[in-house]
Chains A and B, each alone.
Chain A
């Protein structure tokens, strides 16, 4: 084998060709399964896309670097199922561009966080984590009380629609209005929101102040949506209950 290498080194183009072949093996093993991803990843039938307000919250989640300490991926291990619930399925993040699975946990996993705690808890915890969890090392985010900038939401929805997320043209056109409507259940705009997104997304003032749409509204709406976009993972445990 060393003799082969000795001879190969003396034929420069042969060495280049051999390097390309060796390096592509690793690439092919990772890339080849993507060619058939449409057939191998099951899309949950009940998967819903994020609402504009939740999407804005996702933007804040990324902006503040939440993903650096929190994963959104319950691993397929018995202990993880016991603590967090059914493990994450690939189809769950089909509408996430980019996905926020993460691999490092300084804080707990958030994939099944939706509706585990109340909105009031999230608001208090984001503004000052120590007020809720004395031993927490999570930073405080007091500036989230600022007014939410919804100017780019229509463009965000349009971009995601081009990537295959099922946002209808009227959803894209009404994105800004829908973001506001989701936090104002008693407003006239709420009807339009319900017509476009149905009953499943939470419709309420997330930061307990309906007079103003804040970044807290968006982030809490997003956190409350985690793990609630589809019920498919819960089938993992019920289908094979014996």
Chain B
């Protein structure tokens, strides 16, 4: 219809008007900036190129695969394999079974240390703390006290199969509940166990008899532990749940059965060995840091 009007140019802006007239008010016919038009053309052109090169259109049970035939699943798995291969240089050696020999190789341990730290942070630190400092109910790894053993091979076994975990070969340890005992006996026993910690326990008291009848088979006659059944020493102030009389009473009443998950499905054998050596070295690392 523009040909019906005479072309009219607005004197202020220099733009055409639409030719419409609303009581003397006229509308400018401002064209799109050229930059916008070109950006639009470029994005259209890109989308056409992308359709040709990349997976794009759905076709019912299939889709157009594009000339590059990119496959996200393959990219991810190949990329992951490349990451694994990149580590094989030093990680492969950790599949060897002789952990002591690996530990003696200072160069290898230094090369693996950052990876071990990362593995520990990702998998172990949530319970045991970033520096292996433990927490209420979770063992300290950065000291020389062990419920089972501080030998790297034994630590690796614990990491593989866990403790009280859903794993057929898991380590099994249960502090049973003694709530069948009379309250008075329980309280006396709790006092006695709390006293073992600082040597104030009275070996001649009735509670000592209760201890030797009920507790000594796992914790040792003097509560010294170390019998390899996961029962802690009661004389070294390292009981993970605490050893004040109130906490011991709680433990006696309800029992304890701490769980360490099994890691076989999550970590490779080499990673587990590496972690075992890292954990075994945590106490000395702490000493060096001036603990």
A/B interface sample: 23 pairs, CB < 8 A: A2-B37, A32-B58, A78-B76, A78-B77, A78-B83, A81-B76, A81-B80, A82-B83, A83-B122, A87-B73, A115-B166, A117-B126, A117-B127, A117-B261, A118-B127, A118-B259, A120-B258, A121-B126, A124-B136, A131-B135, A131-B136, A132-B126, A234-B265
Is A116 in contact with B80, judged by CB distance below 8 angstroms?
no
**Which chain B residue has the least Cβ–Cβ distance from A82?**
B83
Is B127 in contact with A35, judged by CB distance below 8 angstroms?
no
Cα separation A83 to B63 with both chains bound (whole Å): 31
A16 to chain B, nearest CB (A): 20
Determine whether B5 belongs to the interface, using a CB cutoff of 8 Å to chain A: no
Determine whether B7 belongs to the interface, using a CB cutoff of 8 Å to chain A: no
Determine whether A97 belongs to the interface, using a CB cutoff of 8 Å to chain B: no
Q: Which residues of B contact A (CB under 8 A)?
A: 1, 32, 37, 57-58, 60-61, 63, 72-73, 75-80, 82-83, 122-123, 125-127, 135-138, 165-166, 254, 258-261, 265-266
Given contacts A78-B76, A202-B166, contact A121 B127 (CB under 8 A): yes
Q: Which residue from A35, A83, A236 sits with its C-beta under 8 Å from B60?
A: A35
Cα separation A79 to B79 with both chains bound (whole Å): 8
B283 to chain A, nearest CB (A): 21
Given contacts A115-B261, A118-B127, A120-B258, contact A81 B77 (CB under 8 A): yes
Given contacts A81-B77, A117-B261, A120-B258, contact A132 B127 (CB under 8 A): yes
Q: Which of A40, A85, A119, A120 has the most CB of B within 10 A?
A: A120
Is A78 in contact with B259, judged by CB distance below 8 angstroms?
no
Determine whether A152 belongs to the interface, using a CB cutoff of 8 Å to chain B: no
Cα separation A234 to B265 with both chains bound (whole Å): 10
Determine whether A76 belongs to the interface, using a CB cutoff of 8 Å to chain B: yes
**Which chain B residue has the least Cβ–Cβ distance from A87?**
B76
Q: Which residue from B60, B78, B79 sits with its C-beta under 8 Å from A36?
A: B60
Is A236 in contact with B73, judged by CB distance below 8 angstroms?
yes
Cα separation A118 to B259 with both chains bound (whole Å): 6
Cα separation A234 to B260 with both chains bound (whole Å): 22
B261: chain A residues within 8 A (beta carbon): 115-118
Cα separation A40 to B62 with both chains bound (whole Å): 8
Determine whether A159 belongs to the interface, using a CB cutoff of 8 Å to chain B: no
Is A76 in contact with B58, judged by CB distance below 8 angstroms?
no
Q: Which residue from A36, A85, A116, A208 sits with its C-beta under 8 Å from B61?
A: A36
Cα separation A35 to B60 with both chains bound (whole Å): 7
Q: Which residue from B32, B79, B135 sits with its C-beta under 8 Å from A78?
A: B79
Given contacts A132-B127, A236-B73, contact A78 B82 (CB under 8 A): yes
Is A39 in contact with B135, judged by CB distance below 8 angstroms?
no
Q: Which of A85, A118, A132, A237 has the most CB of B within 10 A?
A: A118
Determine whether A19 belongs to the interface, using a CB cutoff of 8 Å to chain B: no
B272 to chain A, nearest CB (A): 15
A37 to chain B, nearest CB (A): 10
Q: Which of B32, B123, B261 has the most CB of A within 10 A?
A: B261
Determine whether A77 belongs to the interface, using a CB cutoff of 8 Å to chain B: yes
Determine whether A33 belongs to the interface, using a CB cutoff of 8 Å to chain B: yes
Cα separation A79 to B39 with both chains bound (whole Å): 35
Is B137 in contact with A120, judged by CB distance below 8 angstroms?
yes
Given contacts A33-B58, A35-B60, A131-B136, contact A236 B259 (CB under 8 A): no
Determine whether A133 belongs to the interface, using a CB cutoff of 8 Å to chain B: yes
B233 to chain A, nearest CB (A): 21
Q: Which residue from A10, A40, A78, A124 sits with its C-beta under 8 Å from B80?
A: A78
Cα separation A2 to B29 with both chains bound (whole Å): 13
Cα separation A80 to B77 with both chains bound (whole Å): 10
Cα separation A202 to B165 with both chains bound (whole Å): 11
B82: chain A residues within 8 A (beta carbon): 78
